[in-house]
Amino acid sequence: MKNGLDMFKALKWIAAIVIACGIICSAVHITEFSDSNLGLMIGIGFLFGGVQIWMFSAIAGLLLRSGEQQAKPSEERS
């Protein structure tokens, strides 16, 4: 369980870094708000990607915990 939690904590940190990069990149290139502004589009992509990484870490962590809770009753019966 320790290795699984470490992985999810690392994913949350990576997501936070990606989101921070997206905020910085978007803020720097916000002056010309259009779809031809490559820096702004990259910043928005980082924001969406960071949120997806964050959601994956949360969902995977919940699945890991529920799987461990289901495995414990079967071990107690043996």
Confirm whether 22 is domain-assigned: yes
pLDDT at 75: 57
Report in angstroms the alpha-carbon separations of 58 from 21, 33, 34, 53: 20, 32, 33, 9
Total domain count for the chain? 1
Q: Let me know if residue 24 belongs to a domain.
A: yes
The Cα 26–Cα 24 span in angstroms is 5
Q: Where are the alpha helices (DSSP H) in the chain?
A: 2-28, 38-77
Q: What is the mean pLDDT of each run of 10 residues along the chain (78 residues)?
A: 73 94 95 90 96 91 75 61
Residue range(s) defining the domain that contains residue 16: 7-66
pLDDT of res. 35: 87
Whether 26 is covered by a domain: the verdict is yes
Sequence-distant (6+) residues with CB within 8 A of 51 are 15, 19
